[in-house]
Structure 1
Amino acid sequence: MTRVLPEHLLRGGARWRAPYAADLEAGARRVHEEAADPLRSPFQRDRDRIVHSTAFRRLKHKTQVFVRPEGDHFRTRLTHSLEVAQVARSIARPLGLDEDLTEAIALAHDLGHSPFGHAGERALAEVLGAHGGFDHNVQSIRVVTELERRYPRFDGLNLSLGTLDGLIKHNGPYRNDEPPAVVAGLHTALALDLTAQPPGEAQVAAIADDIAYDAHDIDDGLRAGLLALDDLREVELTAGILAAIEAEYPDLEPSRQAAELVRRLITVMIFDVIAETATRLEDGAVGTPEAVAAAPSFLVGFSAEVASKEKELKRFLFARLYRHPEVMARVEAGGEVIRSLFARFTKAPQLLPAEWQTGLGEGDDRRLCRRVGDYIAGMTDGYALAEHRRLFDRTPDLG
């Protein structure tokens, strides 16, 4: 029997909400109607469903930068997603945005990533090119609307309109592009405005992703020995922070110096986003969620000065870390594993697990290819290699 709780314990503690924060009532609609939860807001409920999903757990063993990294010190897609959520909440709270919606979008934004990072995504996009292609952002939507199978009445997680809208558009609205089928279906089912700007909470999640990438990829690069602290003196943003650390702590050991660099870098970028966003909101007299949606561009962002420095840092990381020969060799080998698996499964679908063969008809190549793509995209790095070893005589050593 469910106990009746006092009113003050229901729906969590209230926090200050800015007038431009996402509208809880308007954002609560779902494709499949459900009774309201007495303890949680719609966005809290979404966050919890995401955290308990199979796809979220699998992120623990999916590549962030380093393929199947040795030890516990390097980021995976799971730890990256948790760090994005932490940064996002740190920005959302002082701006008066809905923290739970912000967190839900941040935690879900990478659910559709394939194994082996962006090389895996490129491989799937290549082999699925004639069948709708592959994009991890679109795949995240398919995960939360179709591929998760946990509930008796529906496929997916049946997330609220607010979370789906933010997840679909966190990188920007669909204004000139024809939306993918899954997005078009949600547009019809929930009357999503695909041409409007995403809610402020989604904009925060997007920039938190950039902040987490920048700071924590530096940390992983230093730990792996692919970057040195002296290399980061070539970049204006990190050079200034290193100089300040050395002035304050002249004898600090390198490992602590690196940790302090990452901490201060995150702080600098978070404070800049909050200050710049507050200025844009004030200058534009933005006072409603509708005004956020109608803005000509994102309201959440870096100042011009920090944006320029952050772009320089990204160019540095791309050239010196993401394109480092050691990193590239492993991720490209992972891409070849995916291409081989796709070719084998589409040629012999009977090799798929039984539940993935259900509903496949003879001669329906598009359906088969999409099913195989979904199966591979959901794999962890380790499971993809295990499947490759099961089906082939020789498998790359990526450990």
Structure 2
Amino acid sequence: MTIREQTEELERKTLSSFATLASETKGRVRPDEPCPIRTNFQRDRDRIIHCKSFRRLKHKTQVFLSPEGDHYRTRLTHTLEVSQIARTIARALRLNEDLTEAISLGHDLGHTPFGHAGEQVLDEICPHGYRHSAQSVRVVERLENDGRGLNLTWEVKNGIACHSSGKEAETLEGRIVRYADKIAYMNHDIEDAVRAGVLREDDIPWDLKYLLGRTKSDRITTFITAIIENSSDNIRLGQEMQDAYNKLNRFLFDAVYTNPSAKGEEGKAQTLLRYLYRYFASSPEKMPEEYQKIAQQEDLDRAVCDYISGMTDRYAVAVYEELMIPRAWGI
């Protein structure tokens, strides 16, 4: 037996009957020769980690635009925190940790520069609309690897597509990631907001602190424990914790996500992205060749949306400055 086959046999013997086995994947669009070492889901995880879109996450906004300081979250550090939380849950429930990790690491590959402010602009201006979960799937199917995509398994792509809202993932591993994503961002956004002076720990409702704990670690542990205790054939928090989860999310929406101090620069970011969209829609020849090909093969709006959504915050600013800011004459 190869190392991969030994791992697959170990999964069959040790994982829950509700787990998704790597050996029973629905497969890839283009069949690949099996790896002698890695299972299908381990291979998907590695493809995501090594792709360009994953590296760009380190320069994409989470909540605070271009934060001053090294300790604020970026889209990359958020992704790593989601992966840690999701893997902890998957391991405790004896579900497939490799599948859970692959979905976690790929779930935000299609996020725009400037966080949800950028997503809102592209959704408004692009005729196709814009959802970062759908764009993340497009990244791994169409945009990465010089247009060939990463050729991931069906289960990983399904988990990425369903991580945010709407229809639940088909696998329990994908459903774990949906919870882990929100548990991660609610708790690290509190920490970042306190550091930025937007929020005080005392502002958190006392009943939530009493139920969930007073620290980020306590709150995350409480949510993880609740999921483990209430899940078997599905992923659940239990009613009391689900109510607390919903209340914490509403509190953050009012105190942080719509707070003028946290969102004061978003108008500028949105103006910048609107300008870039109009510019490249009227001058598609100014886009890199790969996006010009997409414009020819699909349509121009699709290509412009792909190009802008893939930009990091600082690259979007640099392109805008190149187009809009006069330079000294080179005489």
Q: Same fold (TM over 0.5)?
A: yes
Partners of 1:204 and 1:300 within 8 A in 2: yes
User: Aligned in 2, Cα 1:237/1:22: closer, same or farther, shift over 3 Å?
Assistant: same
1:162 matched to which residue of 2? Answer: 155
With over 3 angstroms needed to count, the CA separation of the structure-2 counterparts of 1:113 and 1:219, relative to structure 1, is same
1:104: which partner in 2? 102
CA distance in 1, matches of 2:122, 2:94: 39
1:293-345 CA distances to partner (integer Å, 9 max, x unpaired)? xxxxxx21211001111111111111111111122221232111111100111
**Deviation (angstroms), 1:9:** 8.1
Query: What's the offset of the Cα at 1:274?
Result: 0.7
Counterpart check, 1:378 vs 2:313: no
Q: Gaps (5+ residues) in structure 1?
A: 1-5, 175-195, 246-260, 282-298, 395-399
Identity of aligned residues (%): 41
The root-mean-square deviation of aligned C-alpha atoms, in Å, is: 2.2
Asked whether 1:369 is paired with 2:301, we answer yes
Name the SS for the 2:264 alignment partner. helix
1:66 to 45, 57, 64: 64
| Contact 1:235/1:313, CA 8 A, preserved across alignment | no
**Displacement, 1:172?**
6.5
Residue of structure 1 aligned with 2:177, choices 186, 202, 205:
205
Report the equivalent of 1:357.
292
**2:125 aligns with one of 120, 124, 127:** 127
Does the CA-based 8 Å contact 1:237-1:309 persist in structure 2?
yes
Q: For the Cα contact (< 8 Å) 1:173–1:197, is it kept in 2?
A: no
Report the TM-score when normalising by structure 2. 0.91
Structure with higher RCO (Cα < 8 A, 6+ apart): 1
Which of 1 and 2 has greater Rg? 1
Distance in 1 between residues matched to 2:135 and 2:73, nearest whole Å:
21
Amino acid at match of 1:202: G
Q: State the secondary structure of the residue aligned to 1:25.
A: helix
Q: Distance in 2 between matches of 1:142 and 1:359?
A: 12
SS at match of 1:327: helix
Q: Structure 2 CA distance, aligned partners of 1:239 and 1:222?
A: 19
2:84 and 2:252 mapped to 1: Cα distance? 22
Residue deviations 1:257-284 (CA, integer Å, cap 9, x gap): xxxx001110000000111113xx3xxx
List aligned pairs for 1:216-227, cutoff 5 A: 216-227=188-199
- Give TM-score, length-normalised by structure 1: 0.76
Contact 2:4–2:35 at 8 Å: present in 1 too?
no
- 1-side partners of 2:321 and 2:7: how far apart? 49
Aligned with residue 302 of structure 1, among 237, 242, 247 = 237
Amino acid across the alignment from 2:197: G
Deviation at 1:239, TM superposition (A): 4.2
